Chain A
Amino acid sequence: MLKCQHVEQRADALVDGEKLPLGERLALRTHLMICRHCRRYLRQLYALVSKLRGADQALPEDEAEKIVTRTLEDRGR
């Protein structure tokens, strides 16, 4: 039987969608079925990691243009 602390340390692999060996996957799944604390930990860790994800932003054209100009000027030196 896995310990909760082991699940806490491997929960990242589940959140990251890592491919785990079959034995470990089954052991984690079995533990999660019977341990509500670890289920809660995993669910909340997922929520936290999803929250952190930033939106893809783009620069306004004129700001991008300034950077391009500076870059090309430097190259011209």
Chain B
Amino acid sequence: MANADLETPEFIERLRAGDRAAFALVVKHYHPRLLGAARTLLQPADAEEAVQDGWIAAHRALPKFEGRSALLTWLTRIVINQARMQLRKRGREIQFDPTEEDATDALAHRFNANGHWQQPPRAWTLSGPDALLTRDELQRCLETHIHAMPDNQRLALQLRDIQGLDFDAICNILDVSASNVRVLLHRARARLFEMVDRFQETGEC
């Protein structure tokens, strides 16, 4: 079953009516994505718990789901809220206002005062057997850098670039403006670009 089939009005109606087999299909196809979202904020075991709590909350609320957003968007919002609740209990709060974080554009230092490149991007090896982006060490290095990002940047990157959600869905999930999501996403991508560029030059993470 394709994910698109889980979003049809007929399928949603089955879910709302308490059809167990329909619910099992949603779990089967959406659980890995929800876990991926939760793991951007929590340790693996806590993320599992947040998603399980999310399923319980979603199952309870399903009869009232009106389909104003996609099912996946609605579920992701529930899981992210569970994850944020867990964080809050430990005194951590995620800020989505980019002015509140001290990070700047990781590429800013590569421009001169006139706004032109003083350290232009290096040419990446994008094809052939040694293609940079297909190398395992680079993959591991990307994962390390994604893990080290501020929570809000990592979450924006996860929802947009890793999961491919559109901006409307992300704004709905996080309750933030599209412009804030764009700033966070830009900072996250700039960090990774800078990292890959350095890797191309030095071969080191």
Contacts and interface: CB of A to CB of B under 8 A. Distances in A.
B133 A48 contact: yes
Interface residues of A, number: 38
**Chain A contact residues: over half helix, strand or loop, or mixed?**
helix
A19 to B, nearest CB: 12
Contacts of A56: 3, 29, 32-33
**Chain B contact residues: over half helix, strand or loop, or mixed?**
helix
A12 B121 contact: no
B92 interface: no
Nearest to B167: A16
Size category of the binding interface on chain B: 35 or more
Contacts, number: 111
Contacts of A75: 56, 59-60
A1 B114 CA distance: 12
Given A53-B162, A59-B32, A48 B117 contact: no
Pick the 5 closest A-B CB pairs, nearest first.
A3-B115, A37-B120, A64-B28, A5-B115, A57-B32
Interface of A: 3-6, 8-9, 12-13, 16, 37-38, 40-41, 43-45, 47-49, 51-54, 56-59, 61, 63-65, 67-68, 70-72, 74-75
